[in-house]
């Protein structure tokens, strides 16, 4: 009988829960070695699920991007923080409620799929307010969230990632914008994305994974989220975390495995 420790990760775990930005791609381009490694992992029997804190795009748009990079992917292979936060809101407010939304198409579609009505103004009497990443977010957008929060409207966020890796460098993420609202009016939203467990719950409900491996590039989201959910993790050094940071991490930020890139799955 083969010792599991001698098997590649793609054989030891049934499903890879793959972060996207900084792991599979940066902006429009694939991370070096990512596509070839994932295709090989799938050949070994590993199911590939793409799990992202980025709530700006729909699962269809993400799947189309992955296909353009050379990865076979369908919308059902993608789970987003937008889907997770939409479920949270739908469980907290009556069906058909208005939700003040600052975010991209992915968040709008996720809210509609849950029977909620996205609106853009705090004056439309929303039952909840939610923030998701959108690169063209304005001060006026953030002000509407602040007005609603000050009126006592329940506040949600798809994620609180402070940065967003892009092809040009590191840009401010949704967490930076959430922090701006918090500084203006106090309080803090309920959060769906990693490291909170709502996105992991959404992923488990959608994939049925039995022995997953979380794969990411961030200690404070991907790795902490994996540890809080009680599953193993692979930290790849193709995004925001350096090797020194990864190797010195402790507690909930300590990854099961550390590698240069996704070839570690093999």
Q: What is the mean pLDDT of residues 79-108?
A: 96
Same domain, 185 and 199: no
19 labelled catalytic = yes
162 is written with which tokens?
A: 């402070």
Task: State the CB neighbour count (10 A cutoff) for residue 92.
Answer: 13
pLDDT-derived band at 257, boundaries 50, 70, 90: very high
Same domain, 167 and 202: no
pLDDT value at residue 5: 73
Q: Is residue 77 part of a domain?
A: no
pLDDT value at residue 3: 60
pLDDT value at residue 2: 47
Task: State the CB neighbour count (10 A cutoff) for residue 186.
Answer: 10
* Beta strand 98-102 pairing with 128-131: parallel
Q: CA–CA separation, 160 vs 130, rounded Å?
A: 12
Residue 124 sits in which domain range? 83-191
Same domain, 162 and 256: no
Q: Is residue 254 part of a domain?
A: yes
21 labelled catalytic = yes
Same domain, 131 and 174: yes
Q: What is the mean pLDDT of residues 253-263?
A: 98
Q: Is residue 113 part of a domain?
A: yes
Same domain, 122 and 141: yes
Task: Choose the catalytic residue: 3, 14, 21, 220.
Answer: 21
pLDDT value at residue 224: 95
Counted domains in the chain: 2
Q: Is residue 186 part of a domain?
A: yes
- Which segments of 127-242 does DSSP mark as H helices, in order? 139-150, 174-185, 197-207, 224-229
Same domain, 131 and 94: yes
Predicted structure pTM score: 0.87
Domain boundary, last residue among 135, 159, 191: 191
Same domain, 88 and 182: yes
Q: Is residue 166 part of a domain?
A: yes
Q: What are phi and psi of 102, to 5 degrees?
A: -120, 115
Q: Which tens digits make up the pLDDT trace of 26-38?
A: 888 999 999 999 9
Domain boundary, last residue among 158, 191, 224: 191
Using an 8 Å Cβ cutoff, are 219 and 246 in contact?
yes
* Beta strand 212-216 pairing with 15-18: parallel
Domain boundary, last residue among 127, 159, 191: 191
Handedness of CA 237, 242, 248, 250 (dihedral sign): negative
Q: What is the mean pLDDT of residues 74-87?
A: 95
Q: Is residue 118 part of a domain?
A: yes
Same domain, 224 and 153: no
pLDDT-derived band at 164, boundaries 50, 70, 90: confident
Same domain, 176 and 199: no
Q: Is residue 141 part of a domain?
A: yes
Looking at the predicted structure, is the pLDDT value of residue 96 above 70? Answer: yes
Looking at the predicted structure, is the pLDDT value of residue 205 above 90? Answer: no
**Helix 59-69, helix 105-113: angle, nearest 10:** 130
Task: Choose the catalytic residue: 4, 19, 123, 220.
Answer: 19
For the chain, what is the total number of helices (H) and then of strands (E)?
10, 15
Average confidence score pLDDT of the chain:
94
Q: CA–CA separation, 73 vs 138, rounded Å?
A: 33
63 is written with which tokens?
A: 């799947």
Using an 8 Å Cβ cutoff, are 155 and 186 in contact?
no
Same domain, 148 and 169: yes
Using an 8 Å Cβ cutoff, are 200 and 232 in contact?
no
More reliable by pLDDT, 155 or 4: 155
pLDDT-derived band at 200, boundaries 50, 70, 90: confident
């Amino acid at each position: 009988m083969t010792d599991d420790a001698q098997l590649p990760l793609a054989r030891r775990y049934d499903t890879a829960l793959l972060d996207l930005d900084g792991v599979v791609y940066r902006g429009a381009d694939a991370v070096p070695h990512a596509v070839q490694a994932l295709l090989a992992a799938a050949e070994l029997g590993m199911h590939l699920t793409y799990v992202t804190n980025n709530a700006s795009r729909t699962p269809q748009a993400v799947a189309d991007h992955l296909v353009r990079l050379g990865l076979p992917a369908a919308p059902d292979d993608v789970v987003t923080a937008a889907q997770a936060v939409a479920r949270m809101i739908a469980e907290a407010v009556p069906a058909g409620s208005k939700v003040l939304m600052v975010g991209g198409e992915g968040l709008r579609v996720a809210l509609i799929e849950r029977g909620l009505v996205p609106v853009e103004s705090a004056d439309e009497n929303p039952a909840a307010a939610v923030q998701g990443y959108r690169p063209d977010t304005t001060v006026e957008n953030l002000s509407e969230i602040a007005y609603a929060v000050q009126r006592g409207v329940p506040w949600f966020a798809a994620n609180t990632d402070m940065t967003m890796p892009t092809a040009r460098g590191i840009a401010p993420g949704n967490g930076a914008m959430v922090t701006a609202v918090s500084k203006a009016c106090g309080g803090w939203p309920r959060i769906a994305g990693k490291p909170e467990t709502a996105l992991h719950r959404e992923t488990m409900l959608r994939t049925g994974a039995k022995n997953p491996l979380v794969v990411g590039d961030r200690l404070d989201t991907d790795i902490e989220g994996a540890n809080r959910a009680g599953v193993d993790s692979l930290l790849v050094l193709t995004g925001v975390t350096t090797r020194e940071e990864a190797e010195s991490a402790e507690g909930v930020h300590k990854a099961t495995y550390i590698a240069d890139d996704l070839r570690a799955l093999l």
